[in-house]
């Protein structure tokens, strides 16, 4: 891939993310049925044709937002020192992970969309697609920590199980926060996330590894 192609792809991804943020806001305010492709295009300042060029459906418009939050966490795990346990690393770094105005806004938007899944089942496809893409990015992270290759079956299985655990935690916390008004301390969400990942990991990567 040439540098120009990389730049063009990056610009396209940022453009899709911008549209995704508007779509998530409209879905939250008006519901999926109450939001049209035209409304998303108008909010994003683009043509309806461009929306359909970017996305296969209006529900798919939220995929880039959901994926961005998922990829940020995978990227965070990529920086996990080999000599630290999962719990030690997450508790030491999660505060910085969620800092930044845009990061906070995206996180809130993602929580709202995930909390809507029970009454807006059409959004679940977008959520699962985003999780699947994040899982693919998690595979080399698991492989590196396990000292195996990314095409190793056990590596793929571990990444799939870890991402499923992350997805369940995200859904449970999002639902409780939005529908029950629960407030979660950062330490509690970190504990839940770490416990779920450790329980799901099919390879011994949550404790310090050699090398």
Number of domains in the chain: 1
Residue 46, domain member (yes or no):
no
Average pLDDT over the chain, rounded to an integer: 93
Give pLDDT tens digits for 163-200.
Answer: 999 999 999 999 999 999 999 999 999 999 999 999 99
Residue 12, domain member (yes or no):
no
Query: Residue 80 class from Cβ within 10 Å (0-12 exposed, 13-18 middle, 19+ buried)?
Result: buried
pLDDT class for 7, splitting at 50, 70, 90?
very low
Q: Domain of 99: which CATH number?
A: 1.10.357.10
Residue 182, domain member (yes or no):
yes
Give pLDDT tens digits for 12-48.
Answer: 889 999 999 999 999 999 999 999 999 999 999 999 9
Give the mean model confidence (pLDDT) for residues 65-86.
94
Residue 37, domain member (yes or no):
no
| Contact in structure between 63 and 126 (CB atoms under 8 Å) | yes
> Which residue in this structure is represented by tokens 């990389």?
6
DSSP E strands, 55-187:
none
Domain extent at residue 165: 62-200
Give pLDDT tens digits for 81-108.
Answer: 999 999 999 999 998 887 888 899 999 9
């Amino acid at each position: 891939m040439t540098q120009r192609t990389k730049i063009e792809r990056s610009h396209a991804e940022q453009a899709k993310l911008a549209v995704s943020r508007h779509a998530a806001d409209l879905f939250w305010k008006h519901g999926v049925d109450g939001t049209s492709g035209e409304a998303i295009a108008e909010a994003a300042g683009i043509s309806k044709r461009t929306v359909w060029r970017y996305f296969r459906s209006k529900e798919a418009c939220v995929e880039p937002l959901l994926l961005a939050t998922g990829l940020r966490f995978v990227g965070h795990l990529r920086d996990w020192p080999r000599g630290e346990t999962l719990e030690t690393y997450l508790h030491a770094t999660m505060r910085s992970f969620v800092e930044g105005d845009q990061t906070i806004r995206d996180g809130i938007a993602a929580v709202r969309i995930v909390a809507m899944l029970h009454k807006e089942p059409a959004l679940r496809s977008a959520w699962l697609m985003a999780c699947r893409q994040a899982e693919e990015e998690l595979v080399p992270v698991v492989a590196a920590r396990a000292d195996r290759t990314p095409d190793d079956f056990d590596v793929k299985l571990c990444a799939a199980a870890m991402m499923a655990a992350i997805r369940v935690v995200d859904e449970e916390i999002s639902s409780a926060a939005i529908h029950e008004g629960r407030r979660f301390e950062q330490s509690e969400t970190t504990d839940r996330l770490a416990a779920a990942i450790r329980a799901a990991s099919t390879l011994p990567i949550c404790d310090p590894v050699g090398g």
